[in-house]
Chain A
């Protein structure tokens, strides 16, 4: 079904939206592991997305690495930074963690803007080649990777590791009394979540062709958060639904011109008010 999508939406514009959608699915899956399954309110995901994009692009550009090797390095870099943030945030909970991770995103953004000798600052990097030729091929590539990530994560959350993460989410003290080392498992979730966001970031610059810090503004973190919540946090299919809905909704509302994002804002608030379990909860009740 996914394979047929580029032929159903055959204009170049909609095919572009499909690529963005696939990247958003990856980002939402990543955040869901940290927030939905482990219960850690992380607003720093845009930083890992940015690190994936910048590290992979700069390695290809300045050191002429192969794209795949550079991407692997970028994913590892994002993952290690995730571990670092987790080590740092081990003592923080709830809103403190939210603001600290938000601070991490702000710092990353400011470094990208100010470190001009490497990142070119707000001027940005131009003429970035995509890893594969054509939008359709890029969509198959990113969607394929998203599918693999989905399958792996689905296995992970159904394994004993998933039970451990959920135990930390529900009650960290009780989990600790059963011999679960909360700090290590939270760091694990942060690291994996960061690495997946970094992976999504590797494909962004090639798709757009340019790379500017504004693409990784902290607002991006809120967008990912909205996808997870609207879709249904702590379920596997929820973030996928959320990413698809919130990618296509603003596009479908384009006819409303300036009202478009206002409707988006209202829709987000209404879903939270009237569908606390997200869109995924509607299906669950029926099944």
Chain B
């Protein structure tokens, strides 16, 4: 393999790994948008809370209290972070989205979630302080080498877990009765209500799933991020860009756009420097809005969740 080919393969792999992390964050945003036409600005902070939950579950609880080996501790911490995300989702649905849903306003829930975001960031600041934590995943130490391409066991784990979660979500939406009901709510909330579907329950369920994904993403991102109370903000702007590039509320579009942005980021780091990532991603976003404002995949309403 030539040097250039090896480099391209290597950076593409890095890009897919990053992309999987972004997809996990962006999917939650797109799911909530699909059923509720709302943006959750506190989503970023759910990611951060997930990362902190995983950090303490892995380093303090699983290995110290339960005496588990490092690897098992990290896997357990991913489950803990997912659960924490689900709890936050329940809370924000009860506090913000459910009471504001009936008023049919796109602006106020958005502002209310900004308030929740400020609250969560500063609660974490009070609890954990501003100094970043070092979250080492035991899987990051193992390197796998194929030919001249290297990747860590951590990146393989991330790709596998995100593929599995996305697959499970897809199967849930496609093949279960509840998933079908959820798609019905996304398509037409009123008509779905008339068919006897409890839309409040299903919207709540969507927000819980979306937030659980954010928590899980936090656990997977923890070792990559500078783990501070404001860590999620660096990911969420990219997640917003991904959601738009993929088309708001469109799941396939979000997955493709997420991987694409990951790959673009990997090559931007290689050729232009890491300082320019956000610039490149958002110029792409604006270009996308000019050329195809509906996103990569043209909007078909029935595919919206």
Binding site for B on A (CB under 8 A): 35, 41, 88-89, 91-92, 94-96, 98-100, 102-104, 106-107, 110-111, 113-114, 218, 222, 225-226, 229, 233, 258-262, 264-270, 272-273, 276
Contact across chains for B108 and A276 when beta carbons are under 8 A apart: yes
CB of B293 within 8 Å of the partner chain: yes
Name B111's contact: one of A99, A106, A225, A262 (CB within 8 Å). A225
Give the number of chain B interface residues (Cβ < 8 Å): 46
B: which residues have CB within 8 A of A? 33, 37, 39, 41, 95-96, 99-100, 103, 105-112, 114-123, 125-126, 237, 240-241, 243-244, 248, 275-276, 278-279, 282-283, 285-286, 289-290, 293
Q: Which residues of B contact A98 (CB under 8 A)?
A: 39, 110
By the criterion CB–CB under 8 Å, are A92 and B289 in contact?
yes
User: Which residues of chain B are near A91, meaning CB under 8 Å?
Assistant: 293
Point out the residues of chain A lying under 8 angstroms from B243, CB to CB. Answer: 99
- B244 near A99 with CB under 8 A, answer yes
Q: What is the CA–CA distance of A103 and B122 in the complex, to the nearest angstrom?
A: 25
Residues of B within 8 A of A106 (CB): 237, 278, 282
Which of B96, B105, B122, B286 is in CB contact (< 8 Å) with A262? B122
Question: Which one, B117, B279, B286, contacts A114 given CB within 8 A?
Answer: B279
CA–CA, A114 and B279, complex, Å: 9
Report whether A96 and B96 are in contact in the complex, using a CB–CB cutoff of 8 Å: no
**Contact across chains for A229 and B285 when beta carbons are under 8 A apart:** no
Q: Would A95 and B33 count as touching, CB distance under 8 A?
A: yes
Residues of chain A contacted by B103 (CB below 8 angstroms):
276
List 11 additional contacts besides A98-B39, A103-B285; criterion CB under 8 Å: A88-B289, A92-B293, A100-B289, A103-B286, A110-B278, A110-B279, A265-B115, A265-B117, A272-B100, A272-B108, A273-B100
Residues of A near B125 (CB, < 8 A) are 258, 261
Given contacts A102-B240, A106-B237, A258-B126, contact A265 B279 (CB under 8 A): no
